Structure 1
Amino acid sequence: MMAAAETSSIAGLLLVSVLILPVVGILAQLALGGRFLNWICLAVFPASFGVSAATCAVVWSHGEPLIYIVGGWQPPLGIALRADGISAAMMLVTAIIICAVAIFARVEFTQPSGAPEARAPFVFWALILALWSALNALFLGCDLFNLYVALELLTFAAVPLVCLKGGEATVKAALRYLLFALLGSMLYLMGTALLYGAYGTLDIILLAQRVHPERVTWIAAALMTVGLLTKTALFPLHLWLPPAHAGAPAAGSAVLSALVVKGSFFLIVRLWFDAMPGLGHTAGPQLLASLGAAAILFGSVMALRQQRLKLLVAYSTVAQIGYLFLMFPLAMAAEQSWTSLAWTGGWLQLFSHAFAKAAMFLAAGLIADALGHDRINDLGGAGRLRPLTFCTFGLAGLSLIGVPPSGGFVAKWLLLSASVAEGQWIWAAVIVVGGLLAGGYIFKVLGRAFTAGSDAPVIVTPVSLSREVVAFSLAVGAVLLGFFPLEPAEILQIGRPEILGSTVP
Structure 2
Amino acid sequence: MIERLGLSPAATPMENEAALWLVLVLPLLLGVLGAIARPSRTWPVAVAGLLPLLALGWLSSQVAGTTGKSGVVELGDLVLYWRVNGLTLLLLLLTYLIGLASALYAPAYLRDDVQALTWGQAWFWPLLGLLISSLALIWLAADLLSLYIGLELMGLTAVGLMLLPGKVEALVAGLRYLLLALVGSLAFLLGISLMLGAWGRLDLAGLAEVAEPGVLLWVAVGLLTGGLMLKAAAFPLHVWLVPVHAWAWIPVSAIHAGLVIKASFFIALQLWLLLVPEATVAAWMIGGLAGAAVVWGGVKAWRSAKLKEVVAWSTVSQLGYLLLAFPLLIGTDAAVADLAWQGTWLQLAAHGLAKAAMFLAAGNLILATGAARVEGLAGASRRFPLSLLSFGMAAISVVGLPPSMGFTAKWLLLHAALSGGHWAWMMVLAVGTLLSAAYVFRLFHYSFIEDAPEAEFRRVPWPMETVALLLALAALLLGLAAEWPLTLLRGAGDEP
What is the TM-score with the length of structure 1 in the denominator? 0.90
What are the superposed Cα offsets for residues 41-84 of structure 1, whole Å, 9 maximum, x if unpaired? 5664321122123334543x2232122322498xx952122112
Equivalent residue, structure 1, for 2:21: 16
- Root-mean-square deviation (CA), in Å? 2.6
Higher RCO (C-alpha under 8 Å, 6+ residues apart): 2
Conserved in 2, the CA contact under 8 Å of 1:334 and 1:340? Answer: no
Query: 2:306 is matched with which residue?
Result: 308
2:67–2:493 CA contact under 8 A, matched in 1: no
* Cα deviation, residue 288, structure 1: 1.5
SS at match of 1:340: helix
Deviation at 1:281, TM superposition (A): 3.4
- Contact 1:56–1:88 (CA<8 Å) still a contact in 2? yes
Q: Within 1, Cα distance between the matches of 2:471 and 2:145?
A: 34
Amino acid of the residue matched to residue 269 of structure 1?
Answer: L
Bigger mean CA deviation after superposition, 323-332 or 185-194 = 323-332
2:470 aligns with 473
Aligned pairs for 1:89-168 within 5 A = 89-109=90-110, 118-168=118-168
Q: Does the 8 Å contact 2:405/2:475 carry over to 1?
A: yes
Matches within 5 A, 1:41-120: 41=45, 44-59=48-63, 61-71=64-74, 77-109=78-110, 118-120=118-120
* Structure 2 partner of 1:503: none
Indicate how the Cα distance of structure 1 residues 446 and 399 shifts in structure 2: closer, same or farther if over 3 A, else same.
same
Name the SS of the counterpart of 2:109 in structure 1. coil
Residue 245 to residue 36, structure 1, CA distance change in 2 (3 Å): closer
Secondary structure of 1:69 counterpart: strand
Matched, 1:410 2:408: yes
Question: How far apart, in 1, do the equivalents of 2:345 and 2:164 lie?
Answer: 31
- Of residues 421, 446, 449, the one that matches 1:448 is 446
Please show how residues 283-362 of structure 1 align to structure 2 within 5 Å. 283-336=281-334, 340-362=338-360
- Cα 1:412–1:329, aligned 2, differ >3 Å: closer, same or farther? same
Which blocks of at least 5 consecutive residues in structure 2 are unaligned? 1-9
Taking the TM superposition and a 5 Å limit, the aligned residue runs for 1:226-265 are 226-265=226-265
Please say if residues 399 and 408 of structure 1, whose CA atoms lie closer than 8 Å, have aligned partners that are also in contact.
yes
Give the Cα separation in 2 of the matches to 1:488 and 1:360.
22
Which amino acid in structure 2 is aligned with residue 22 of structure 1?
Answer: P
Q: Residue 333 of structure 1 contacts residue 422 of structure 1 at CA under 8 Å; is this kept in 2?
A: no
Q: TM-score, normalised by structure 2?
A: 0.91
Shift of 1:333: 3.7
Letter matched to residue 15 of structure 2: S
CA contact (8 A) 2:280 2:330 kept: no
State the alpha-carbon separation in 2 of the partners of residues 322 and 77 from structure 1: 37
Q: Structure 1 residues 337, 124: closer, same or farther in 2, change over 3 A?
A: farther
Residue among 391, 394, 400 paired with 1:393 = 391
- Amino acid corresponding to residue 296 of structure 2 in structure 1: F
* TM superposition shift of 1:488: 9.7
| 1:280 match: secondary structure | coil
Work out the CA distance in 1 between the residues paired with 2:447 and 2:398. 19
Cα pair distance change 1:41/1:391, threshold 3 Å: closer
Alignment of 1:353-392 (within 5 A): 353-392=351-390
Corresponding position of 1:198 = 198
Q: Deviations over 1:426-469 (max 9, x none)?
A: 0101110110010000010011101224423431x211223212
Q: 1:338: Cα distance to partner?
A: 9.3
Relative distance call for 1:484 and 1:291 in structure 2 (3 A) is farther
Q: Is the 8 A contact 2:38 2:122 kept in 1?
A: no
Instruction: Name the amino acid aligned to 1:345.
Output: G
Judged with a 3 Å threshold, the aligned counterparts in structure 2 of structure 1 residues 209 and 476 are, in CA distance, closer, same or farther, namely same
State the distance in 2 between where 1:442 and 1:36 align: 35
Kindly provide the amino acid, as one letter, of the partner of residue 54 in structure 2.
G
2:273 corresponding residue in structure 1 = 273
Q: Deviations over 1:180-200 (max 9, x none)?
A: 111110001000100111111
Give the percent of matched residue pairs that are identical in Structure 1 and Structure 2: 37
Deviation at 1:400, TM superposition (A): 1.1
- Within the alignment, does 1:171 sit opposite 2:168 as a pair? no
Deviations 1:159-179 (A, max 9, x none): 121121111111111011111
Q: Distance in 2 between matches of 1:44 and 1:139?
A: 22
Equivalent-residue separation in structure 2 for 1:289 and 1:299 (angstroms)? 15
Maintained 8 Å contact 2:280/2:327: no
8 Å Cα contact 2:45/2:104 also seen in 1? no
TM superposition shift of 1:35: 6.3
Alpha-carbon contact 1:380-1:452 (below 8 Å) kept: yes
Aligned to 1:106, the other structure's residue is in SS state helix
Partner of 1:211: 211
The answer to whether the 8 Å contact 1:143/1:202 transfers is: yes
Alignment check: 8 A CA contact 1:289 1:326 kept: yes
Distance in 2 separating the partners of 1:251 and 1:466 = 13
Paired amino acid for 2:20: L
Q: Which runs of 5+ in 1 are unaligned?
A: 501-505
Local SS of the residue matching 1:81: strand
- Write the distance in 2 (CA, Å) between the matches of 1:409 and 1:260: 23
Task: Letter of the 1:238 partner, please give it.
Answer: H
Match of 2:480 in 1: 483
Deviations 1:291-334 (A, max 9, x none): 11110000000001111000000000000000001112112344
Deviation at 1:36, TM superposition (A): 7.8
Question: Size of the alignment, in residue pairs?
Answer: 482
Q: Deviations over 1:91-110 (max 9, x none)?
A: 00111111122111121346
The match for 1:492 is: 489
Question: Which deviates more, 389-398 or 336-345?
Answer: 336-345
Q: Deviations over 1:321-370 (max 9, x none)?
A: 00001112112344348961111111111100011001000011011111
State the Cα deviation string for residues 369-404 of structure 1 (Å, max 9, x = none): 111112111221112111010011111111111111
Q: Name the SS for the 2:235 alignment partner.
A: coil
